[in-house]
Amino acid sequence: MNTSYRCWAEVDLDALRGNLAWIRHRVGPKVKILTVVKADAYGHGLKQIAALLMQSGTDIFGVANLAEASAIRRVGKGWPVLMLGALLPDEMETAVKDHVRATISSLDEATALSRVATRLQKIASVHVKVDTGMGRLGARPKDALELIRSTAQLPGLAIDGLYTHYASAEDDAAFSKAQAEGFEGVINAVTKAGIQIPLIHANNSAALLHQPETTFNLVRPGLLVYGILPEGQRADVAALRKFFHPALSWKCRVGFVKEIRKGDSLSYGRTFVAPRKMKVATLTAGYGDGYLRAGSNRAEVLIQGRRCKVLGRVTMDQTLVDVTKLDNVAAGEEAVLIGSQHGETISAAELAQWCGTIPWEILTAITYRVPRLYRGSQAS
Ligand SMILES: *Cc1c(COP(=O)(O)O)cnc(C)c1O
């Protein structure tokens, strides 16, 4: 890609479309797909990604706040949007007016929303959440039926969904099974009570791979849509890797190259001291772009298809890497932070490991300063 940027991300829309197609294939035509696009579509750019997903078969969007919901509305009308977080009391009016489906964890929340909806003479669709072990939102399984019964009686509300969220689907089969059983208990009680709820859902990306028995009639993938597998201690997902293509690559440039002598120190705090004569490149990216400081002295980048290690502390706008083994490295040359170059690849998961974190945080840490450039057949 021809660019004069200093640090940028390239998003491959064809990869995203392919990832969604695999998810569709996996769950079959009858199950709905809620694509999670919170945090600017995991750092990929909400506007472009929402447009692509609307054209590629998403049924519902999942967001973390009302600004994200209204951004989706500006791209295209008609798609249901579920707010995955708790609605704040002062957000309820906007949510009802914008037809954002609310997550309900308690009768207090349901009552407050019912009052707002009644006042506005609207019907607010809600998804009741059951806390089977994540501990974030939701009613306890033993209280869920009562909450659903009472919520169903409230004016201005319609229960559109019932859901739960796994805490450790990629790592802990036993805990996931217990969560599934808790949720199924609630579903059975609701059915027995003669209450019909259209959408039942539990599976995030990891559960989509490891807990197919709790697919119900809707799945909620985030990370997988972007082409990254949630790796964990459960069953090997390596065989699936060929079906997914990471949509995002992240690049910067070589700004300056120099030789240093044995004993020279590099960057703030002088945490790196050269054990020998070396060649060092100064890159045009730093933690101000979201390249985490935790990767200091650990992370690697690609230059000329070769892995080059980060030396010393990552700074706000610049990062130093070891290019001793490369010939003819020059200012202006491209360096890859995430992505492929001449057949060598650094994944978001690998960068996450160097930084002691997870790919979700790596992606959402990429800041506003990094332009997102789109390629693929739907780029505009
Ligand atoms: C973020 C989120 C998801 C998506 O999680 P992934 O692990 O990225 O697939 C699904 N459901 C809820 C409630 C979430 O908050």
* Segment 12-33, tens digit of pLDDT: 999 999 999 999 999 999 999 9
Tell me the CA–centroid distance for residue 225 and ligand 1, in Å: 11
Residues 220 and 253 in one domain: no
- Which token pair is 117? 């909806």
Tell me the CA–centroid distance for residue 48 and ligand 1, in Å: 20
Residues 343 and 217 in one domain: no
Range scoring the smallest mean pLDDT among 19-33, 58-72, 123-137, 227-241: 227-241
117 near 96, Cβ under 8 Å? yes
Alpha-carbon Rg for the chain in angstroms: 24
Would 1 be classed as within a structural domain?
Answer: no
Ligand 1 proximity of 295 Cβ (cutoff 6 Å) = no
Tell me the CA–centroid distance for residue 81 and ligand 1, in Å: 14
Q: What is the pLDDT of residue 197?
A: 98
Range scoring the smallest mean pLDDT among 91-100, 205-214, 238-247, 312-321: 238-247
Would 2 be classed as within a structural domain?
Answer: no
Beta-bridge mates of residue 373: 10
- Residue with the smallest CA separation from ligand 1 atom 15 is 84
Ligand 1 proximity of 19 Cβ (cutoff 6 Å) = no
Residues 311 and 209 in one domain: no
Q: What is the pLDDT of residue 185?
A: 98
- Split into its structural domains, the chain has a count of 2
Residues 193 and 333 in one domain: no
Domain that holds residue 310: 248-375
Q: What is the pLDDT of residue 231?
A: 86
Q: What is the pLDDT of residue 290?
A: 98
Tell me the CA–centroid distance for residue 35 and ligand 1, in Å: 9
Residues 197 and 314 in one domain: no
Task: Confirm whether 5 is a catalytic residue.
Answer: no
- The DSSP output letter for 78 is S
| Domain end position, chosen among 225, 256, 276 | 225
Residues 216 and 284 in one domain: no
Would 257 be classed as within a structural domain?
Answer: yes
Among residues 38, 163, 166, 251, the one annotated as catalytic is 38
- 221 pLDDT band (50/70/90 cuts)? very high
- 378 pLDDT band (50/70/90 cuts)? low
Would 153 be classed as within a structural domain?
Answer: yes
Q: What is the pLDDT of residue 208?
A: 96
Residue 85 sits at φ, ψ, to 5 deg, of -90, 175
Q: Is the pLDDT of residue 258 over 90?
A: yes
Q: What is the pLDDT of residues 327-355, one digit of tens each?
A: 999 999 999 999 999 999 999 999 999 99
Ligand 1 proximity of 221 Cβ (cutoff 6 Å) = yes
Residues 49 and 183 in one domain: yes
Would 242 be classed as within a structural domain?
Answer: no
Would 17 be classed as within a structural domain?
Answer: no
Task: Confirm whether 268 is a catalytic residue.
Answer: yes
Q: What is the mean pLDDT of the chain?
A: 96
CATH classification at residue 68: 3.20.20.10
Would 5 be classed as within a structural domain?
Answer: no
CATH classification at residue 261: 2.40.37.10
| % of the chain exceeding 70 in pLDDT | 98
Ligand 1 proximity of 45 Cβ (cutoff 6 Å) = no
Residues 43 and 189 in one domain: yes
Determine the atom of ligand 1 nearest the C-alpha atom of 208. Answer: 9
- The DSSP output letter for 290 is T
Ligand 1 proximity of 366 Cβ (cutoff 6 Å) = no
Q: What is the pLDDT of residue 27?
A: 97
Ligand 1 proximity of 36 Cβ (cutoff 6 Å) = yes
Ranges assigned E (strand) in the chain: 7-12, 32-36, 60-63, 81-86, 100-104, 124-129, 157-163, 199-201, 218-219, 248-260, 265-266, 272-273, 278-283, 300-303, 306-309, 319-322, 334-341, 344-346, 372-375
Tell me the CA–centroid distance for residue 93 and ligand 1, in Å: 25
Q: How many Cβ atoms sit within 10 Å of the Cβ of residue 231?
A: 19
Identity of the amino acid at 132:
T
Among residues 142, 258, 262, 268, the one annotated as catalytic is 268
Range scoring the smallest mean pLDDT among 14-18, 95-99, 116-120, 231-235: 231-235
Would 15 be classed as within a structural domain?
Answer: no
Residues 42 and 191 in one domain: yes
Ligand 1 proximity of 220 Cβ (cutoff 6 Å) = yes
Residues 36 and 160 in one domain: yes
Ligand 1 proximity of 165 Cβ (cutoff 6 Å) = yes
Q: What is the pLDDT of residues 102-143, one digit of tens each?
A: 999 999 999 999 999 999 999 999 999 999 999 999 999 999
Residues 187 and 38 in one domain: yes
Q: What is the pLDDT of residue 2?
A: 53
Residues 130 and 253 in one domain: no
279 near 259, Cβ under 8 Å? yes
